Chains A and B, each alone.
Chain A
Amino acid sequence: MSKFKKSSNKETPPISTASLPDIVFMLLFFFMVSTTMRQQDLKIKVHVPAAVQIQKLEKKSLVSYIYVGSPTKKYQKMFGTEPRIQLNDAFATTSDIRDYITSEREARDENEVPFMTTSLKVDEYTKMGIVTDIKQQLRKCNALKINYSTRKSSSE
């Protein structure tokens, strides 16, 4: 009687997997686009402090990084546990910062230089002495835009 009688002899067809590659490709492209490869391996431990009032760093190509923290286990034998500065891939001292900034500037276009920012990635437990030295060095080579790298604080 009913119009919608189930045809009893039909089995449920298997799920078509033909669209699976498409889905996977979509995911793949998403991750490919959003990936930023880690540029350098850190020889020091950096756990940046948390803060609420943070701004996003824009124009990543114009940012140069200075890392400060105590060396990781592998390097502790050689360099001890005192916080140290890392520029690019090597340990450095405050006097190297000048050269670093100069080389970073040379790698950029001339008219972009005023917009260059220096991001300080400093470990929470570092003493301010070393940070003050870095800041003085940066002032000397006129790299005045800085950014103290922080995590987003969980408690708003």
Chain B
Amino acid sequence: MARQKLGGFNASSMADIAFLLLIFFLVTTTMDTDSGISRKLPPMPEKNQQKSSDRIKERNVFVVLINKNNQLLVEGEPMDVSQLKDKAKEFIENPANNPKLPEKKITEIDNKYFGSQYPVSKGVISLQNDRGTSYGTYIKVQDELASAYNELRDELSMRTFSKKYGDLSDSKKDLIKKIYPQRISEAEPKNVGGGK
């Protein structure tokens, strides 16, 4: 039996096939990386739970209300979203120890960078929105408040480690988190300023 020698196989169409596949994947690709603002919801209050007795002092609460027309009321004054960040920063930091702004609690931190004790603000930001508020505004406010905290953390980390907060190691991040804990609380839903 005469065996025919196999000819070299023609690879010139390989490119075409590969191109076809390539175009298919190009078209079907969605390269969206999901990102967003992460929050933790408070657990549902238990039915037989007493209303917490340790009421927070008024000076320690930074009240942000959003009504159904997407207007802001911050600590009793109408305000634009753009001013919110600075106001919140001032509230959290309380640089001049203003008696109207939150108290500071001396907290044990115990590490070589900040000494053993550091006055940590007791301030809590309380955010309340109406059912008619638009989601876009709500996110904008959440974003501004988060950036207030992050800017403070950044500043502190620049001062002590001369690095941005995001570039720190995890243990140092935890330290800064202890000094500027992000306390944003959302009220149980209720209607603010009427409207459905």
Contact = CB atoms under 8 A, between A and B. Distances in A.
A123 B134 CA distance: 9
Contact of B143 (A51, A57, A127, A144): A51
Nearest to A57: B34
A60 interface: yes
Interface in B20-70: 21-22, 25-26, 28-44
Given A53-B146, A129-B196, A145 B40 contact: yes
A127 B133 contact: yes
Interface string B123-163: 00000011111111011101100110010000000000000
B21 A28 contact: yes
Contacts of A125: 134-136
Contacts of B147: 52-53
A60 B32 CA distance: 12
A102 interface: no
Interface in A13-30: 17, 20-21, 24-25, 27-28
B135 A144 contact: no
A25 to B, nearest CB: 5
Contact of B38 (A28, A34, A126, A147): A147
Contacts of A140: 44
Interface stretch (B10-18, B88-96, B109-117): B10-18
Interface string A112-139: 0000010110111111110110011011
Interface string A16-55: 0100110011011001101111100000000011011111
Contact of A149 (B29, B34, B146): B34
Contacts of A38: 28, 30
A154 B43 CA distance: 34
Contact of A56 (B34, B130, B139): B34
Given A35-B28, A55-B36, A149-B36, A128 B22 contact: no
Contacts of A52: 143, 147
B43 A142 contact: yes
Given A53-B37, A147-B39, A127 B25 contact: no
B42 to A, nearest CB: 7
Interface of B: 11, 14-15, 18-19, 21-22, 25-26, 28-44, 129-136, 138-140, 142-143, 146-147, 150, 189, 196
29 contacts: A28-B22, A31-B29, A32-B25, A34-B31, A35-B25, A35-B28, A36-B32, A53-B143, A53-B147, A54-B37, A57-B36, A117-B38, A124-B134, A125-B136, A126-B135, A127-B133, A127-B135, A129-B132, A129-B196, A135-B41, A139-B43, A139-B44, A142-B43, A144-B41, A144-B42, A146-B41, A147-B36, A148-B139, A149-B35
